[in-house]
Structure 1
Amino acid sequence: MDPRTSAQDVMRCDLCKTAVVQMHCDTCLVNLCKACVGEHMISDQTKRHEIVPFQLRKSTPLYPVCKSHNKERCEMYCKQCDIPVCATCLTSDKHLGHKLLKVLQVLDEKKDKILKEQTELKETIYPTYEDIASDVQNRMSQLQKEYGDLSTAITKHGEDWHREIDKLVMKLKAEVDEIKNTQLQTLQKHLDEINKTMSDIKDEIDSMDVAVNSNNISKLFSVRSEIDRHRNLPEKLVPSLPKFAPGKIQAEFSKLFGTVSSSSLTSDKHGYSMKTKQKSQEAGFSPPVKQLLDEPETVTTIDTGYDRYLYNVACLSDKEIWTIADDKTMKLYSINQGSLLKSITTKSGNRPTDIAVTKSGDLVYSYYSDKTVNIVKNEKIEEVIRLQNWIPDGVCSTSSGDLLVIMYSDDSKQTKVVCYSGSTEKQTIQFDDKGIPLYSSGRYFNIYLYITENRNLDICMSDFGAKAVVVVNQAGKLRFRYTGHTPAPKNQPFYPLGITTDSQSHILTADYKNDCVHIIDQDGQFLRYIDCGLRGPWGLCIDTNDNLFVAQNENRQVKKIKYLQ
């Protein structure tokens, strides 16, 4: 066909089939010409036909039909009953005193919820099931290899026994094959169930797409997600291999040749965890997945011996911690012995603002009075940074060896985070994309701003003045603000102080007023509280084994707490 003389046909009216489409019924989803509009309107008078120009089709909301009063449109929504309601419903006593909203107000919220759940299914849950399926397949392959090694061992031992024991060798190999087949069949059934769930998830994602892209509100409200069921990951089946125990060559061949021990498939409900999007700080390195303990436990308590308030703690190693208090001395303690190993006095003779330990194991501290950040090397103090018109506060060392320093202006009206390589300023983080300050201004305590870097390179700051944990990405773009969780242990406002992160990219922050520590994930979702009888928790740090150290302000003790399996 010659494209210069041919063309596609225009859309025709669904009623007369000849005239060009000009109008559209959003209620019946029918294309109409102007001449057929009247005929369509009277064809079904039980409906409220919404006729719009064809270009504006699907622009009219299709309100749900009331289940109690047939044919009436539900243009309102009852929050208490969580259902759409019509005008007749509103006149009844059933919804008296209930909070009512226009159904269109609830629509966007419902769409957002569906889209979030769809995103979680698509980007987190389904990929997790893919990983689980891959894990089961790998275990099956490894099982094949290990059973092959087992068979080889039996065969080798059988060769030493010559022809007399060939039948016994075949008998034992048959036992191994039977155990193997039983375990493989069990794992295959487990894999089939996982694949079936993955298929269900894909179907659910597709149905959500249809609902979200439709203008049919009833269809949106009819979406019932199975996401809670999918969040409960399958049990992890871990087969145990039988062992071959060769015996000495004596008279009773069947007993002395050796036996195959029994085996099993153990089930671990917590064997898998949900897939997260996080970049490892070291290429190719993926930390082992650790689950939160049902009940965190105190491992040891260290009495620092300070006479005044204890403010912060920093891990030098898994055996030693640095501490600072309302005192000019920075003290190094043995964790196991609880004994004082070393004391360093600040240059100024006044207490430091904050401390951190670098990758090389040097102690860094900030000092507000002379506006400096200092490093302690071989017990000698060197000035690294000296500020003008700004006062340093919280400080931390990054995975790349840089320093992150929180600072506020001399007039206490501005707060920012500056990244330093040595004494060279590399990056400043102060405003969001709209030019609004990311952090609060003004001083509330001598120390009230703390900072840390997460494994995914997010920069996390506890902002006491804003009563929030403010998290930005590596480029300084705001990711989220965490403003606490209710109910709080003591029903007090959220005032975050010390902050740290662990190998799972959890963010932990001390809540001084509620005598607890909050654990949130890398996306700001609350996971749990840690209390363990804490009294005025202030500073926090984590060692390489994910043990939490909490500096308690009131009793001047440091608690070591185990909270991960």
Structure 2
Amino acid sequence: MMNGIELCQYFMLTGVDSCNHISCMASSDRFWVSDVCQSLTLTNTAGFVLHRVADLCIDSYGAHTLNSENELIYIDSNYNIKKVSKDIETTTKFLEISHLARQATCVYWSPSTGDLLIGTYIRKLDIGHVMRYNKSGRLTQIAQLHNRELKVCGQPNFIAENTNGDIVVSNYTNFTTGAVVAKDRSGKHRFYYTGTKSEFRPRGICTDALSHILVCDDATRSIHMLHRDRKLITRILEGSEISQCSLSYNSNTHQLWVGLENNELYAFRYINRTDVLTDEHSSSCLYCSGIRIHFTPAIWI
């Protein structure tokens, strides 16, 4: 334990050049991880490579997700959406949304509605959107992400859904001000979060069981923990290794998975089941304040 944060597991991923994005199975020891080399790998906590997908989109970051049946949904090299069956035997094209003007950049399956949320980007206009598709693959909603006055534009890189129904997006390119953009379930704007310093470079994003929003910031090399209404609660896991990292929250084990650029993956716990049942935010917020963890290899607790 480190002031309330417990380091539970450590993995050195094999056959993966970096840990770009993680999709973990809530009730299993298996997870999908993608890297910058267009590779998507199914592996487990014992370190075995179980399957590979070769046609992942190279321009997308949060390019895969899992539905309630543990079926993989991902963006392929042609910016279309494919689905891989639970037994990994069948791959089908779920949505064909590729267009010369619009590219799919990230996907997220909603546990609460069963909808598929897809972040898209119009490069020529530097405008991002979130598109909502129902279980039948019908487009039901488009929400625009940019704000010209705040200079918040750019590409949606990672997307997640909070327990209150908000859609939260990590929005950043090299030419714009980075931001976490939050929309409610209807697509109405909730807030922008642009960090606490002059530069904010958001990367991986997820939400936890207490409705906190966690986002990796490349500029401060830390993970920002936000209240669901935008306020910064604290920065956790500060250190030079927190760079372009990916985040995933396992709601079954209440573990925060942190994947690093050098293909290391850590699982931390800072929320226990009592916190979730009583919804007492103080225990998971106050204990995290000011924590700096220096990552060392092959640690098991």
Q: TM-score range by the shorter chain?
A: 0.7 to 0.9
Q: CA deviation at 1:360?
A: 1.6
CA distance in 1, matches of 2:132, 2:148: 20
Q: CA deviation at 1:330?
A: 1.7
Matches within 5 A, 1:109-124: none
- Asked if 1 retains the 8 angstrom alpha-carbon contact of 2:31 and 2:44, the reply is yes
Query: Which residue of 309, 314, 323 maps to 2:23?
Result: 314
Query: Which residue of 104, 109, 113 maps to 1:397?
Result: 109
Greater strand proportion: 2
CA distance in 2, matches of 1:478, 1:403: 19
Q: CA deviation at 1:442?
A: 4.5
Counterpart amino acid of residue 179 in structure 2: A
- Asked if 2 retains the 8 angstrom alpha-carbon contact of 1:404 and 1:419, the reply is yes
CA distance in 1, matches of 2:13, 2:59: 16
Counterpart for residue 346 of structure 1: 54
Counterpart for residue 427 of structure 1: 141
CA distance in 1, matches of 2:180, 2:57: 32
- Asked if 2 retains the 8 angstrom alpha-carbon contact of 1:430 and 1:439, the reply is no
Q: Decide whether aligned partners of structure 1 residues 400 and 438 sit closer, same or farther in structure 2, where only a CA change above 3 A counts.
A: farther
RMSD: 2.7
Q: CA deviation at 1:513?
A: 3.0
- 1:418 and 2:126 are equivalent in the alignment: no
Q: CA deviation at 1:329?
A: 3.0
CA distance in 2, matches of 1:439, 1:313: 29
Q: Decide whether aligned partners of structure 1 residues 526 and 350 sit closer, same or farther in structure 2, where only a CA change above 3 A counts.
A: closer
Aligned residue for 1:404, secondary structure, equals: strand
Counterpart amino acid of residue 102 in structure 2: W
- 1:186-218 CA-to-partner distances (Å, cap 9, x unmatched) read xxxxxxxxxxxxxxxxxxxxxxxxxxxxxxxxx
Q: Decide whether aligned partners of structure 1 residues 442 and 453 sit closer, same or farther in structure 2, where only a CA change above 3 A counts.
A: closer
Counterpart for residue 163 of structure 2: 455
CA distance in 2, matches of 1:386, 1:439: 31
CA distance in 2, matches of 1:475, 1:437: 23
By relative contact order (CA 8 Å, sep 6+), the higher-ranking structure is: 2
**Structure 2 portions without partners, runs of 5+:** 273-301
Query: How many residues are matched?
Result: 258
Q: CA deviation at 1:481?
A: 1.2
Matches within 5 A, 1:184-333: 294-306=3-15, 308-318=17-27, 319-333=29-43
- Asked if 1 retains the 8 angstrom alpha-carbon contact of 2:20 and 2:246, the reply is yes
CA distance in 1, matches of 2:208, 2:201: 21
- Asked if 2 retains the 8 angstrom alpha-carbon contact of 1:412 and 1:442, the reply is no
- Asked if 1 retains the 8 angstrom alpha-carbon contact of 2:158 and 2:204, the reply is yes
Matches within 5 A, 1:49-198: none
Counterpart for residue 477 of structure 1: 188
CA distance in 2, matches of 1:474, 1:349: 27
CA distance in 2, matches of 1:528, 1:431: 25
Q: CA deviation at 1:501?
A: 0.7
CA distance in 1, matches of 2:219, 2:259: 14
Query: Which residue of 350, 373, 381 maps to 2:91?
Result: 381
Identity %: 22
CA distance in 1, matches of 2:79, 2:7: 37
- Asked if 1 retains the 8 angstrom alpha-carbon contact of 2:127 and 2:145, the reply is no
Q: CA deviation at 1:347?
A: 4.0
Aligned residue for 1:308, secondary structure, equals: coil
**Structure 1 portions without partners, runs of 5+:** 1-292, 487-491
Query: Which residue of 525, 540, 558 maps to 2:247?
Result: 540
Aligned residue for 1:457, secondary structure, equals: coil
- Asked if 2 retains the 8 angstrom alpha-carbon contact of 1:498 and 1:538, the reply is yes
- Asked if 1 retains the 8 angstrom alpha-carbon contact of 2:57 and 2:78, the reply is no
CA distance in 1, matches of 2:58, 2:267: 28
- 1:464 and 2:172 are equivalent in the alignment: yes
Counterpart amino acid of residue 185 in structure 2: Q
- 1:513 and 2:212 are equivalent in the alignment: no
Counterpart amino acid of residue 75 in structure 2: S
- 1:1-43 CA-to-partner distances (Å, cap 9, x unmatched) read xxxxxxxxxxxxxxxxxxxxxxxxxxxxxxxxxxxxxxxxxxx
Counterpart for residue 295 of structure 2: none
Aligned residue for 1:371, secondary structure, equals: coil
- 1:551 and 2:259 are equivalent in the alignment: yes
Aligned residue for 2:20, secondary structure, equals: strand
| TM-score of the pair, normalised by structure 2 | 0.77
- Asked if 2 retains the 8 angstrom alpha-carbon contact of 1:391 and 1:409, the reply is yes
Q: Decide whether aligned partners of structure 1 residues 455 and 500 sit closer, same or farther in structure 2, where only a CA change above 3 A counts.
A: same
- 1:530 and 2:240 are equivalent in the alignment: no
- Asked if 2 retains the 8 angstrom alpha-carbon contact of 1:306 and 1:325, the reply is no
Q: Decide whether aligned partners of structure 1 residues 415 and 479 sit closer, same or farther in structure 2, where only a CA change above 3 A counts.
A: same
Q: Decide whether aligned partners of structure 1 residues 550 and 381 sit closer, same or farther in structure 2, where only a CA change above 3 A counts.
A: same
Q: CA deviation at 1:346?
A: 2.9
Q: CA deviation at 1:437?
A: 9.2
Aligned residue for 2:210, secondary structure, equals: coil
Counterpart for residue 279 of structure 2: none
| TM-score of the pair, normalised by structure 1 | 0.42
- 1:409 and 2:117 are equivalent in the alignment: no
